[in-house]
Amino acid sequence: MFQQLVTQYRARLKALKLDTSRLRSPPPRLVFVTSNRDKVIEAKRILQACGVQFKHLSLRYPEIQDSSLRKIALTSAISVYRRLRQPLFTEDSGLFIEALGGFPGPYSSYVQETIGNIGILRLMEGVRNRSSRFESVVAYVESPRKNQVFTGSVEGRISIEERGSRWGFDPIFIPSGTDLTFAEMGPEAKQKLSHRAIALGKFASWLIEHGRKR
């Protein structure tokens, strides 16, 4: 509605041959709630490329303990929505290592903060099956009764040692089809195949399809 008014106003000014380039777009109404700065940087790259704008709100919110990332993400997003009462999304992600029965999975954040990559590499010492998977779940809550979940995953393997220096598990995760870790390949290449890019790409398509780009 507001966007429509701005468009009409711009058209009127244009008819009067005035400069409309200085008119600012309304601020984004969509909020990304996360305490993780690296997620925000990646989400900006991915969503802005699709023309989707959002505002970042840094907030630590309680997460339920569950084996399903989907359940954790949606429960968190709904509880944050109850506080903020505006359209928002959260993103939950994790690294699932086959030989460790899917560990750290939903405990990825805690494991990263405690034993870190070195601890994971120690657990994997002498383990031949290094298959692993990164998963991402984006939970969008628009109103008390309207929510959507978008998922993305990328298969790969755990490296023998840390390579590259980006955030989280990036230095030890090698996506299938390459020999580089996420950390070594850099943000642009990571964005083409990451779990987060897939989930956020689906989210962006949904927003565009339903006319909710901001």
Binding site for ligand ITT (CB under 6 A): 34-36, 39, 91-94, 108-109, 112, 167-170, 182, 194, 196
- Residues 157, 132: Cα–Cα separation, whole Å: 5
Among 89, 94, 95, 198, smallest CA distance to 151 is for: 198
Residue with the CB atom nearest ligand ITT in the bound state:
168
- Least Å from the CB of residue 12 to ligand ITT: 43
**What is the arrangement of strands in the sheet containing 173-175, beginning at the earlier edge strand?**
55-57, 31-33, 88-97, 131-143, 146-158, 173-175
Instruction: Indicate the residue among 26 and 119 with the shorter CB distance to ligand ITT.
Output: 119
CA 185 from centroid of its chain's CA atoms: 18
- Least Å from the CB of residue 63 to ligand ITT: 6
Tokens of 92: 């939950």
Active site residue 92: yes
- The CA-based angle 199-196-63, given to 5 degrees, is 90
- Least Å from the CB of residue 28 to ligand ITT: 18
Query: Which one of 19, 38, 66, 92 is the catalytic residue?
Result: 92
Instruction: Indicate the residue among 199 and 204 with the shorter CB distance to ligand ITT.
Output: 199
Instruction: Indicate the residue among 91 and 184 with the shorter CB distance to ligand ITT.
Output: 91
List, by residue number, the catalytic residues.
Answer: 92
